[in-house]
Chains A and B, each alone.
Chain A
Amino acid sequence: MKRLSGFVLFSAICLILPLLFPDNYYVTVVGLTIFINIILAVSLNLLMGYAGQISLGHAAFFGLGAYSSAILTIKYGLNPWIAMLTGAAFVAGLSYVLSRPILKLKGHYLAMATLGLGIIVHIFFVQADELTGGPDGISGLPSLSIMGMAIDSDLKWYWVLCSCMLLSVLFSLNIADSRAGRALSAVHGSEIAAQMMGIDTAMVKSHIFVFSALMASFAGSLFAHQQDFVSPESFSFFFSIELVTMVVLGGLGSTFGAVIGAFILSILPEVLIVFEDFEVLIFGAILMVIMIFLPEGLFVALKNKVAAFVAKRQEEGVDGPS
C-alpha cells in the first residue's frame, strides 16, 4: 500500500476541500478547470513522460471529444453518455490510424507532425460551420445526469470531475508500475535496446498514443458538458503548448509532476489577475525561474530534495551516538 500513499493523501485533500469550502470560488469554480487540465496533463505525460514521444497536438483530441459530445447531443439528440462513448470510439479509431505513420517519426519531425495535426483539427472546427458552428461555437448542451440526477451545480460537477481526475491519476500510476510501463520506459531510454529486449516498440507506442488520446477525448466531453459551450479557441495550438508546459513544469515522467504542473498553470492566472497589465509578465517570469533553477521539474526536484534530506538524517542517525 506504500506505493499508493501519495495518491491516498492527494485524494483526501481533494475530497476534503469542498466540504470545508463549498462556496469558495477557487475550489468549486477554478477547481473544475484544474481537474480537466490535470486529466489532460496526466494523459499527455503518458505519451511524453513515459514513452518519450513529444506531442504538440494534444488539444486536437481534447477538442474532438468536446465537439463530438456537442454535435451528437444537440444535432442528433443522442444521450450524453452515448455521445461521449461514440466520440471516444471515434477518437480511438482516428488516433490508432494516425499513430503508426506519425510515431515512426522522431524528434523535431514528430513535433512537426503532431503540430500539423493540431492545426488541421483547429481549422476544421473554425471552417466547417455547418457542423461546428464556426468561430462562434456551439452552446446549449443538455446536462449530464447520473442515475436520473442531473449534474447542474458547481459542487456536483466538482464531485464528478474530481472522481474522473482521481481515476485517471490512479490509472497513470498503475501503468508506470506495470509491464507496459516498463516497456514504455525502455522505449524512452533507447528504442533499439528495447527492440533487442523483445519489445514490439511500434505497438507499445501506438497503444499509449491511443490511450492518451482516449483520455483527452473523455476530458473533452466532460469539459463540453460542464462549460455548456464549445468554441475552436479552447482547442487551439496554444492550448497544446500550455499542456506541454504543464507536464514539463511539474516534471516529465512523473504523474504527480503533471498534476502539480496542471495545478500551477491553472491557478496562477487566476491569482495574478490582480496585477492586471503585468499579469503575463509575472506569469512568464515565474515559469522561467522554475525552469532555470529546477530544470527537472518542480515536483521531481522537490521530491529528490526531500529524499536526499531523509537519507541524510537516517545516515546521521546510524552514525551518531544515541
Chain B
Amino acid sequence: MRFCKNLFAILAILSLIGLFGNHQAMAKDTLKIGSFLAVTGPASFLGDPELKTLQMYIEEINANGGVDGHKIEFVHYDTKGKAKEAKNFVNRLIKKDKVDVIIGGTTSGNSLAVIDIVQKAEVPFISLAGSIKIVEPVKKWVFKTPHTDKMAAEKIFTDMKKRGIKKVALITGNGGFDKSGRAQCLALAPEYGIEIVADEKYDNADTDMTTQLTKIRATDAQAIVNFGFGKAPAIVAKNIKQLGIKLPVYESHGVASKKFIELAGDAANGIRLPAAALIVADQLPADDPQKKVLLSYKKKFEEKYGPVSTFGGHAYDALFITVDAVKRAGTIDRAKIRDEIEKTKGFVGTGGIFNMSPTDHLGLSLDAFKMIEIENGNWKLLY
C-alpha cells in the first residue's frame, strides 16, 4: 500500500513536470501544419473526407522527402462542429503547438469564430467553409478554398436568366448554411431581374414540407430554389413530386453528394444544381485543365477510402496551395508564407483555378462552378 502511494505521488509529480515542461524539442526544419475539423458530429460528412485527404497527402509528401526538404508535421483536433471547441483548439494550435499554417474550420460557424485569433496571432489560415463572410471583407491572414454561397446563388440565377425564368419561389431550412444562402438569394435576385414571389422556411429536422410547397404552388412562381444540406432537401424533392408540381427545381451545392440522389430516388431526376467539377470529372472534355488533377485525386481517394466528395477536394486545394507557397517562399516564415499564398496564380485545384490577390482571398471565378442536372440517378454536366 505504501508502495502504491509512493508510486502515485511520483506519477503525479511527473505529470506536473510534463505539464509545465518545454515541448519544443522538435527538429528545426519541420513545417507544422495545424488543423481543426468537424470529424465527428452533425458536420462529419464534411470533416471526415477533409481529414482523410490531408492525412493521405501529407503522408505521401513526407515519403517523397517533404516540401523542399521540410518534413510536414501534422497536428489535428476534432471540433465536433462546435464553435467553442474550434476556438479552444486554434488557441492550442497557435500557443502550444506553435504551428506555421492552419488549415481547417469545416463549417462557417467554426471558421468565423477563430478569425480574430488568427488575425491577432498572425498565422496564415486557410478555411474549408462556405460562407462569403470569411473572406469578405478581406482579412490579412485568412484565405479559403470552397466556393461561396454567393457564387452558388449567382450560378443559379445565371442559369434561370438563360431559361427566361423571372419569378422564383425560395424554400430554405433553419441551419447556418441555409440562412446564409437565403440571404444571398434575396440580395442578388434584383440584379438578375428576378422576383422572389415566395420565401418559405422549414426546420432541418422536419419530415414533411408539403405545407410550404402547397403555398408555393398557389403563387405564380416559375421555378423553385432550395438551399440546404443533409436530408431535408431530399424530402423537399420528394414532396414536390408527390404534389405533382411541374416547375424546374434548383438545389444548392450542399447536396452535391451521392447520398442526396439515394435519398430522393426518382424525385431527384431533373433537378439542377451548381457544384464543383469533381463529381463530373469523367464527363469533362479532355482539354479541360482541371481534368487531370480531378481524376488523380479521385483515383487516390477512392482506392483508399471509397466514394469521393467535393468537400475532401477543398482540403486538397488548401494543402497544395500551402505547399506551393512554401516552395516559392523557400522558408517556413509565417509572414512570407502568407505573402506567397496571396500571390497564388493559376493554381489548378479540385474546386477550380485559383487566382488570389490582395483583394480576393478565394480566387475562384464563377466558371469554377459547373451547372449539373441529375439524370437517371446520375450527375450530368450541362456547362
Q: Which residues of A contact B (CB under 8 A)?
A: 21, 24-27, 29, 33, 129, 134-137, 139-140, 154, 227-229, 231, 233-234, 270-271, 273
A272 vs chain B, min Cβ distance (A): 11
Q: Which 3 A-B pairs have the closest CB atoms?
A: A25-B96, A231-B83, A234-B84
- Chain B residues touching A, majority SS: helix
Residues on the B chain within 8 Å of A228, using CB: 116
B247 vs chain A, min Cβ distance (A): 29
**How far is B115's CA from A234's CA once the two chains are assembled, in angstroms?**
18
Residues on the A chain within 8 Å of B19, using CB: 26, 271
Contact A134 B84 (CB under 8 A): no
Could you jot down 25 A-B contacts, CB within 8 Å? Answer: A24-B20, A25-B92, A25-B95, A26-B20, A33-B88, A134-B176, A135-B175, A135-B176, A136-B83, A136-B108, A136-B176, A137-B83, A137-B109, A139-B112, A140-B116, A229-B113, A229-B116, A231-B84, A231-B109, A233-B84, A234-B84, A270-B92, A271-B19, A273-B77, A273-B92
Residues on the B chain within 8 Å of A29, using CB: 91-92, 95-96
**How far is B92's CA from A33's CA once the two chains are assembled, in angstroms?**
13
Contact B115 A139 (CB under 8 A): yes
Contact B15 A271 (CB under 8 A): yes
Of B82, B87, B112, which contacts A136 at CB under 8 A?
B112
Whether B179 sits at the interface, judged by CB under 8 Å, is yes
Contact B82 A134 (CB under 8 A): no
- Chain A's closest residue to B19 (CB) is A26
Q: Which residues of B contact A (CB under 8 A)?
A: 15, 19-20, 77, 82-84, 87-88, 91-92, 95-96, 108-109, 112-113, 115-116, 175-176, 179
**How far is B202's CA from A30's CA once the two chains are assembled, in angstroms?**
40
Contact B87 A21 (CB under 8 A): no
A239 vs chain B, min Cβ distance (A): 9
Given A136-B112, A139-B112, check contact A129 B179 (CB 8 Å): yes
Contact B92 A233 (CB under 8 A): no
Residues on the B chain within 8 Å of A129, using CB: 179
**How far is B116's CA from A247's CA once the two chains are assembled, in angstroms?**
33
**How far is B112's CA from A137's CA once the two chains are assembled, in angstroms?**
9
- Chain B's closest residue to A235 (CB) is B84
Contact B113 A139 (CB under 8 A): yes
Known: A231-B109, A234-B84. 9 other contacts (CB 8 A): A25-B95, A25-B96, A29-B95, A134-B176, A135-B175, A139-B115, A139-B116, A231-B84, A233-B83
- Chain B's closest residue to A127 (CB) is B174
**How far is B311's CA from A10's CA once the two chains are assembled, in angstroms?**
49
- Chain A's closest residue to B114 (CB) is A229
**How far is B84's CA from A129's CA once the two chains are assembled, in angstroms?**
18
Contact B179 A21 (CB under 8 A): no
- Chain A's closest residue to B112 (CB) is A136
Given A136-B112, A139-B113, A234-B84, check contact A21 B20 (CB 8 Å): yes
Residues on the B chain within 8 Å of A140, using CB: 116
**How far is B84's CA from A27's CA once the two chains are assembled, in angstroms?**
19
